[in-house]
Amino acid sequence: MDEGGNEAFATGDAEPFDGTGRRPITLADVAREARVGESTVSRVLRSHGSFSEKTRARVEAAVARLGYVPNRIAGTLASTGSRLIGIVIPSLTNIVFPDLLRGATAALEQEGFQSVIAVTDYDQDREEAVVGSLLSWRPAGLIVTGLEHNPGTRRRLAASGVRVAELLDTDGPGLDIVVGYSNRAAGEASARHLVGRGYRRIGYIGHDLTKDRRAAKRYAGFRDALRETGMGPAGEERVASPSSVEAGRQGLAALLERVPDLDAAYFSNDDMALGGYFHCLAHGIAVPGRLALFGYNGLDVGRLMPQPLATIRTPRVEAGATAARLLCTGSPATVVDLGFELIEGATA
Amino acid sequence: MDEGGNEAFATGDAEPFDGTGRRPITLADVAREARVGESTVSRVLRSHGSFSEKTRARVEAAVARLGYVPNRIAGTLASTGSRLIGIVIPSLTNIVFPDLLRGATAALEQEGFQSVIAVTDYDQDREEAVVGSLLSWRPAGLIVTGLEHNPGTRRRLAASGVRVAELLDTDGPGLDIVVGYSNRAAGEASARHLVGRGYRRIGYIGHDLTKDRRAAKRYAGFRDALRETGMGPAGEERVASPSSVEAGRQGLAALLERVPDLDAAYFSNDDMALGGYFHCLAHGIAVPGRLALFGYNGLDVGRLMPQPLATIRTPRVEAGATAARLLCTGSPATVVDLGFELIEGATA
DNA sequence: GTCCGTATTGGCAGCGCTGCCAATTCGGTG
DNA sequence: CACCGAATTGGCAGCGCTGCCAATACGGAC
């Protein structure tokens, strides 16, 4: 009607009219603006195939002039594989999973992939649901945590044919790619270390092991290694909540109540151990003279305690990065054991 | 072959053959299997439009038989709006951002949306890049952190017409939806609280404020409030690294070296304050008798220290959830100030 | 039994982009 | 100056799904 007389109507074929937020600009608009074919624009934008320098400049100028943003939804649908990787983690509360995410998203970005994340709250049924949800985005790959999945999840993964990387655990058979370390061995190493340092009344303070399978494996390794020495745990306390500083503090308090002559405490992770340390500080319990403390994960906070925490450092960021890289590069199925490092610290 | 005599081969008319990893199953396959039209399948799967109970059952049976997983890429392209929300955070190292993510993804999931996250490392140029990248997924909305963005980011956001929620800061003009609290007011409240408790030689220990704009605003509020009382900070220490327990410990050590008669330390956040607390423990500095400590964020760990940390609790999870909900429901532009809570603790 | 309004249903044209293939252009070569 | 292989380029058919609209079925009211 008025000037130019158009707007939403893509009437003839000559209505670029990017305007101030009307009809979204498409690749066809760019092609018209640059006076080249659509496929040429596509080639230039993806630096794929051949085109002259002059063409590249024309296309780039048109893109800039129109403020064109490619539509990856359309691009993904048209091409074979997507550039998405789904990441499934049990929790965002425990810093180890953001660490894993950090490694994965950094590597993914480098390879030109984007990540979609989902959280299960340590619930296998929720895992099945979010895996289904992620699969509907037709990702190039999926990163999941641990090796334990319910049958529905396994079936969906298998049926989808999507590559899968299972992280942070190598104690058991994997589906495809496995990147991590042995939680069982970590538990054993912790027990042996404590025994080697002369502790004899060693207790365990853990959280809800039915949900956190990797913590359960560490516990099993710890317990079995202790039994091999003929002693076994001097006492155990399982807090019915997820792991946290608070759970560690309460757990140690409760255990000491029941087993006053404990000389060492093995916690299911560093957060719990930090809670235990706070309990000791608050109650004047000398560490490690009266009670030794041992954690798991090797968090920064443990290193900076007045007495550095004895713990096991796990390569979480590296595991995320490695898994991402293997998925992006289409590695064959494999198991990568990144190992762990025992940190002697000063609390045990 | 065996019982029932079907399985993979829906021998219909032309090679359905889902088989074990062959041609992916599409909605058309389901329609053929259920002997209904494609649009009917679509309607049933989305519970949208009308169809008979008998049809629903037929379709659902076919879906189950074939193990069909809808392709959201195609669905999104065909329909108008996507069910994706992009989330841009500066870091995954500081637990406050996973907290924000937690609130947002939980609310998003409830509304049937999925989140795509990107990390900027506190770099505005990287923010511009990741915003561009997220926009190419044509999200229904974007959640970003803070109010400061470079011109390129603002231009892209405006041009895209996508709804935006800016989080964790209300000190300044927003683009669209703003959910958070005043960092400036938090800094002021901290300063007034310390002054009110009788401290007079109050120092500041912070991290790299050129990148972390919200921490800079807290500092400004803190400094200005102190100046109003006529005293101003007794000393300042800026660690050149991101905030961490280590930075707090080193920062306090350095500041005490220069200003030995400090009677209180205000940290840019709880992680830093925890580091400071560890320094005090390690060096026998009585808290708060000899030195008071004040943090920011209200992390769990602070509450569980032998002496609960004096700090300000911020509603991070709620901010994420609120922003997500406002975006999903298409709320008009608005500013939601969630406020904060001063926790007296025992360290100041 | 006929007719009409409503509940269901199917057909098909795109959504914006990529992959394939044919068409055109460009530089030498003989 | 005609000719040939390589480098560029454009056309167009889908990718799998949704939205629109026409077609059909159903269920009383007459």
The yes/no answer on whether domain A1-70 falls in CATH 3.20.20.70 is: no
Out of A116, A119, A300, the one facing B244 most closely (by C-beta) is A300
Residues of B in contact with A301 (CB under 8 A): 245, 274, 301
Please say if the pLDDT value at position B2 is more than 60: no
Query: What number is the average pLDDT over the span A186-210?
Result: 97
Q: Do domains B1-70 and B84-180+316-338 have the same CATH topology?
A: no
Residues of A in contact with B24 (CB under 8 A): 161
Mean pLDDT for chain A overall: 92
Element (H, E) at B183: helix B183-196
Instruction: Pick out the nucleotide with least CA–C1' distance to A78.
Output: D15
Per-residue b/e over B249-272, b at no fewer than 16 CB within 10 Å?
bbbbbebbeebeebbbbbbbbbbb
Which residues in chain B, range 58-117, keep a C-beta under 7 Å from any nucleic strand D atom? 70-71, 74-75, 77-80
Instruction: Pick out the nucleotide with least CA–C1' distance to B40.
Output: C9
Query: What number is the average pLDDT over the span A136-147?
Result: 96
Percent of chain B with pLDDT over 70: 94
Query: What number is the average pLDDT over the span B10-27?
Result: 54
Within 297-316 of B, beta carbons closer than 8 Å to A belong to 300-301, 303-306
Please say if the pLDDT value at position A10 is more than 80: no
Per-residue pLDDT band for B9 (boundaries 50, 70, 90) equals very low
Which residues in chain A, range 69-108, keep a C-beta under 7 Å from any nucleic strand D atom? 74, 77-78
Percent of chain B with pLDDT over 90: 87
Measured distance CA(A271)–CA(A249) in Å, rounded = 9
CB A178 within 8 A of CB A326: no
Please say if the pLDDT value at position B6 is more than 50: no
B interface test, pick of A137, A160, A175 with most B CB neighbours within 10 Å: A137
Structure confidence by residue, pLDDT tens digits, B110-142: 888 989 989 999 999 999 999 999 999 999 999
Q: List chain A domain ranges.
A: 1-70, 84-180+316-338, 183-313
CB count within 10 Å of CB A116 equals 21
Mean pLDDT for chain B overall: 92
Query: What number is the average pLDDT over the span A193-206?
Result: 97
Which CATH number applies to B84-180+316-338?
A: 3.40.50.2300
Please say if the pLDDT value at position A30 is more than 80: yes
Structure confidence by residue, pLDDT tens digits, B265-310: 999 999 999 999 999 999 999 999 999 999 999 999 999 999 999 9
> Which nucleotides along chain D are within 7 A of a protein C-beta?
7-21
Query: What number is the average pLDDT over the span B54-77?
Result: 95
The distance of B18 to chain A (nearest Cα, Å) reads 10
pLDDT at B15: 37
Q: Which of B275, B279, B339, B267 is nearest to B310 (CA)?
A: B267
- Nucleotide C16, nearest residue via CA and C1': A74
Q: What is the 8-class DSSP label of residue B168?
A: S
pLDDT at A22: 63
pLDDT at B1: 34
Structure tokens at B36: 């209904």
CB A67 within 8 A of CB A18: yes
Which residues in chain A, range 129-188, keep a C-beta under 7 Å from any nucleic strand C atom? none
Structure confidence by residue, pLDDT tens digits, B29-44: 999 999 999 999 999 9
A112 vs A246: which has the higher pLDDT: A246
Out of B156, B246, B303, the one facing A300 most closely (by C-beta) is B246
pLDDT at B119: 94
Structure confidence by residue, pLDDT tens digits, B133-183: 999 999 999 999 999 999 999 999 999 989 999 999 999 999 999 999 999
pLDDT at B171: 97
pLDDT at B190: 98
pLDDT at B260: 97
Query: What number is the average pLDDT over the span A74-98?
Result: 93
CB A120 within 8 A of CB A149: no
B47, amino acid identity: S
Q: Report yes or no: B39 at the A interface, CB cutoff 8 Å.
A: no
Element (H, E) at B127: helix B124-135
Per-residue pLDDT band for B22 (boundaries 50, 70, 90) equals low
Structure confidence by residue, pLDDT tens digits, A303-340: 999 999 999 999 999 999 999 999 999 899 999 999 99
Please say if the pLDDT value at position A2 is more than 90: no
Query: What number is the average pLDDT over the span B313-341?
Result: 96
Residue of A nearest to B250 (CA): A304
Q: Which CATH superfamily is domain B183-313 in?
A: Response regulator (3.40.50.2300)
Q: Which of A275, A325, A316 is nearest to A298 (CA)?
A: A316
Percent of chain A with pLDDT over 90: 88
Instruction: Pick out the nucleotide with least CA–C1' distance to A58.
Output: D9
Structure confidence by residue, pLDDT tens digits, A31-67: 999 999 999 999 999 999 899 999 999 999 999 999 9
Per-residue pLDDT band for A112 (boundaries 50, 70, 90) equals confident
CB A202 within 8 A of CB A237: no
Q: Is B57 left (phi over 0), alpha (psi -120 to 50) or beta?
A: alpha
